[in-house]
Chains A and B, each alone.
Chain A
């Protein structure tokens, strides 16, 4: 069993949320590196660049993806990601994280293969710990 997760990626435009998640993840002490992107497009550009450079080590293990963001929202990111996926050698686990309690959003997220689960904000330290544990085991 690995001790720590190498890299976690947060895609969310809410700076406060970014700050809070960073605090909680650091508190679990189970993650080596945290990356932040304020919208889907920026994250996608990063993934493409990493692949182009063949820098597989920099690819994240987990992506926490918000739905509502400017420029490219969570759904659009997932569409673009599905196209990119065949090129990704590494297994990336994606969680959709949203404050929307709308069942339609929930169903839509679950219908997408790439999405592991749908988490409703706010995310607690305990939830994060469970996710990391399951991935490490």
Chain B
């Protein structure tokens, strides 16, 4: 221990040794070669850590910094030993030299251990060539991926742009992020002028903009898809029908941050629907008309059987009987019967020809007729009858004052309704007759005549009430022609007549003047 301290006390003592120049036989050249070489080596060793430091500083994230530090230290100490080696030609500090060599030995051993530990990692480091190769490969893959991405983007764009519907994408502030080419089929503005703007900014004055914006706002708030139809006017095609879909897009936090709008022009569909409906309407009219014709035909078959065949048969039988019978009195009686029947036949033929005329005269001249005037005229016509029964006749035509109709028909219709109401008035009370008119949204005009008369049992007679020679009250005055004529007149002009009634509760006749179109 004593000697250990002694050693360090005399670390810089030189008198125990001889400078190198004087120990051994050094020539000038030999000595200086040695000295200069060791100095250059030492200085170089000092320079190497500086270089390494610069290198590490420049290369950020460079691994093995600790190893490099140890290595630098080792090099520096090596440098120092070389420099000391040179110094010792003049100053023999062999003790210091030994200590420095010892330190160098420790550092070099530590460096070897560190290197040994880091070796596997260092082996894993790619060489620049390897790295170059990797970069090239990755670049090629990236280029390919990019190409594919571009391709798929092109395809997507083509798909979206060639879609006949207008498709747009908007951000959460309802600014257009994307609009497809189809928009140019509707809008005169350039498509790029839409981008980054809200609908209000693009089309501030369009009547649909406000509603559209509020619907967009709704979708943003509720996150639910909205679909609606709208009739709108656009630059290039004018008035059109659109089906608008607004679809919310959510981000990964489930917030709606974008909306897609898809606008389909459904005008052709609507147009087809309209045409179809028109055709259906026409067909319905046609079938109504056919139904009417069929009914008329059936009615006439019936009339021929009952109103013509029957009296004709009677006539034949009467004449047969006349021929067989003897005695002037009998013959006289038969002759009077024959006269009655022929009169009846003639009346029927007359009535029928009236009705046939009605059904053929579908192009009768019409004129604008005031309901009030028409009723007043007929009331005057049968003033005596009205006076005799004390009938009270009122009317209200405020809903529809007049109608375009053949005058003779309307006169006859009103007269028939009036006389029927009086003829079948109740025995218990004075007749009250009320007329009123109405017009539907579609412009269909109707006339209603209500009375407080005997009424008709429609359960029993409903189908027959407008038939020829049908009477229901056992009234000898009744000929059963009036309503038949009335019905035929109304039908021939494309209308219909219906009745609501109960025995003893009066009757209401309703005329729809223009229910179906004349064909």
Binding site for B on A (CB under 8 A): 14, 16-17, 19-20, 23, 38-39, 68, 70-71, 76, 99-102, 121-122
Contact = CB atoms under 8 A, between A and B. Distances in A.
Question: Of residues A39, A70, A71, A102, which shows the largest number of chain B Cβ atoms within 10 Å of its Cβ?
Answer: A70
B477 to A, nearest CB: 12
Given A23-B321, A101-B305, A70 B471 contact: yes
A20 B321 CA distance: 8
A63 to B, nearest CB: 19
Contacts of B321: 20, 23
A23 B320 CA distance: 12
Nearest to B333: A19
Interface stretch (B48-56, B310-318, B348-356): B310-318
B340 interface: yes
Nearest to B311: A16
A70 B472 contact: yes
Given A19-B337, A70-B474, A100 B305 contact: yes
Interface string B458-492: 00100000000011111000100000000000000
B341 interface: yes
11 contacts: A16-B311, A16-B337, A16-B340, A17-B310, A20-B317, A71-B472, A99-B310, A100-B302, A102-B302, A121-B310, A122-B313
B186 to A, nearest CB: 63
Contact of B306 (A16, A38, A100): A100
DSSP class of A's interface residues: helix, strand, loop or mixed? loop
Interface string B277-310: 0000000000000000000000001100110011
A102 to B, nearest CB: 7
Contacts of B301: 102
A99 B460 contact: no
A39 B476 CA distance: 13
Contact of A70 (B310, B344, B473): B473
Interface of B: 301-302, 305-306, 309-311, 313-314, 316-318, 321, 337, 340-341, 344, 460, 470-474, 478
A89 B310 CA distance: 34
Q: Which of B302, B306, B317 has the most CB of A within 10 A?
A: B317
Contacts of B478: 70
Given A71-B472, A100-B305, A20 B310 contact: no
Contacts of B344: 16
Given A19-B337, A70-B470, A122 B305 contact: no
Contact of A14 (B314, B460, B471): B314
A17 B314 contact: yes
A76 B460 contact: yes
A22 B202 CA distance: 98
Contacts of A16: 311, 314, 318, 337, 340-341, 344
A17 B472 CA distance: 20
Contacts of A71: 472-474
B309 A121 contact: yes
Given A14-B314, A16-B318, A102-B302, 18 more contacts: A16-B340, A16-B341, A17-B310, A20-B317, A39-B474, A70-B471, A71-B473, A71-B474, A99-B305, A99-B306, A99-B313, A100-B305, A101-B305, A102-B301, A121-B309, A122-B313, A122-B314, A122-B317
A102 B314 contact: no
Contacts of B474: 38-39, 70-71
A101 B321 CA distance: 24
A90 to B, nearest CB: 28
B433 to A, nearest CB: 24
B21 to A, nearest CB: 158
What are the 9 A-B residue pairs with the smallest beta carbon separation, nearest first? A122-B313, A99-B310, A99-B309, A16-B314, A100-B305, A70-B471, A122-B317, A20-B317, A121-B313
A102 B310 CA distance: 14
Given A19-B337, A23-B321, A102-B301, A122 B316 contact: yes
A102 B306 CA distance: 11
Contacts of A19: 337
A46 to B, nearest CB: 15
